[in-house]
Amino acid sequence: MKIKSIPIALIILFSARLYAQDSLTLAACYRMAEGNFPLAGQTALIDSMTGMKLDNIDKAFFPQLNLDAQATYQSDIPHFNVSIPNLEIPLPPKDQYKMVLDVKQLIYDGGKVKSLKTFQRAAGEVQKQEVNVQMYKLKDQINQWYFNILYLQEQEKIIEIMRSTVKSKMRTLMAGIKNGVVLPGSLNALKAELLRIDQQEIELQSYRISAIQSLGLLIGQKLSDTIVLAKPHFPKLQSNESLQGRPEIKLYNLEQKQNEALILKYDVDRMPKLAAFGQGGYGRPGMNILDNSWQPFYIAGLKLSWNIWDWGRSKKEKEIVYINKKMIEKQQQAFTLTTKLQLTGQRNEIQKLEALIAKDNEIIILQEKVLQMAASQFDNGVITATEYIQVLHQKQESEINKKGHVIQLLMAKARYFTTLGNITEYIKN
């Protein structure tokens, strides 16, 4: 049983893979483009870099060790110019040597480490969101190529229908020629039309293959020339056009949080700090400068430091940050206004295309009736092949116009929801 089940599983997997290669959705293009874009790898690098910076900040509470060694010679030494009977006061040497190990342990930093870590995390989030803003711009490029390919696909379908129609009329005409009721010259007009259809197909295939290759480069996939792109479906336009889904809005919010963290950092910079310190060494002389022998020595204690007055430097620094916060607010307001204007224009474009498609349908219905009449007249020899082809071209032009308007409508909706933000939440393939 196990031996038989393996080929079946492989067939299922192979079939699924073939299907995946032969069709593609807009949402899948977005995902693959984001994974293929060189900037996508920056997010992990930023996380790694932020983690390293946080580790370094934490090390402020680790013991700090310093080893110093020095040898000096001085021109004079402390001495007394008095003579005391029966008392000899030793003099320190002019050449002195010492090796010292300094140890410092931070006990209380006034919240500086915590504020630095908060600021660093906020800075990392801003950097990652800047990458997301750049990545979101890819969607406009994907939209352009995706809907161009869709439009070319629809045109090829219309060309194929025209070829089928012309070939059908050629068969009817050949039967008439065989029976001697139709002149052979009419057949040449249809043959020439068939050649023009072949030319149109060659051009469309060339454009479509080029567009498919460009889309493949964006998403990092080698796409088949015969791949079929699915038409996306979008919901109705939003009555509440909130821009909270736009990555730029999130970036502005994160930049404000970064500024708030920076203000907190300036606040704690002047807080009192307490540290323990110790110093141990070996030298000549030691702590007793009157003893000329080599001696070990040490000193230990606590140190409190407090910047009680900085001449208004921290206040100025915070004022600069507050100005930067206001600048970001203005940038967000300008972005919101510009985007709202874009949405208004895109909404009007969608409504215009919907109205055009409604008229396209009416035109096609009328031209279908005209074509049916022309086909009957052509079959009965009332009109020539050239006249019939003219009517056929008019019908083809109307079909192409409608297909073009339909694809333009889909692209206009894609642009609208891309401008609104979080377009992948609105796509229904």
Specify the pairing of strand 228-229 against strand 23-24: parallel
Mean pLDDT confidence for 74-96: 75
Mean pLDDT confidence for 4-25: 48
Please report the pLDDT score of residue 1 as a whole number: 37
Please report the pLDDT score of residue 296 as a whole number: 92
Please report the pLDDT score of residue 16 as a whole number: 38
Domain layout of the chain by residue ranges: 23-61+106-425
Q: Which of 88-92, 167-171, 239-243, 403-407 bottoms out in mean pLDDT, i.e. has the lowest? A: 88-92
Nearest-10 crossing angle of helices 112-136, 138-178: 20
Q: What percent of the chain has pLDDT over 70?
A: 91
What is 23-61+106-425's CATH topology?
Outer membrane efflux proteins (OEP) (1.20.1600)
Report phi then psi at 72, rounded to 5. Answer: -135, 155
Q: Considering the entire predicted model, what is its pTM?
A: 0.79
pLDDT tens column, 239-273: 777 888 899 999 999 999 999 999 999 989 889 99
Q: Residue 285: is the preceding peptide bond cis (ω within 30°)?
A: yes
CA distances from residue 172 to 1, 169, 243 in whole angstroms, order as listed: 59, 5, 60
- Whether the predicted pLDDT of 3 surpasses 60: no
- Whether the predicted pLDDT of 10 surpasses 60: no
Please report the pLDDT score of residue 169 as a whole number: 79
- Whether the predicted pLDDT of 21 surpasses 60: no
Separation of alpha carbons 249 and 129, rounded Å: 10
**Percentages helix, strand, coil for the chain, rounded to the nearest 5?**
65, 15, 20
Q: How many Cβ atoms are within 10 Å of 267's Cβ, its own excluded? A: 14
Separation of alpha carbons 54 and 125, rounded Å: 13
- Whether the predicted pLDDT of 238 surpasses 60: yes
pLDDT tens column, 273-332: 999 999 999 998 888 877 788 899 999 999 999 988 888 888 999 999 999 999 999 999
Please report the pLDDT score of residue 429 as a whole number: 63
Separation of alpha carbons 169 and 197, rounded Å: 14
3-state secondary structure at position 302: strand
Q: How many Cβ atoms are within 10 Å of 367's Cβ, its own excluded? A: 19
- Whether the predicted pLDDT of 157 surpasses 50: yes
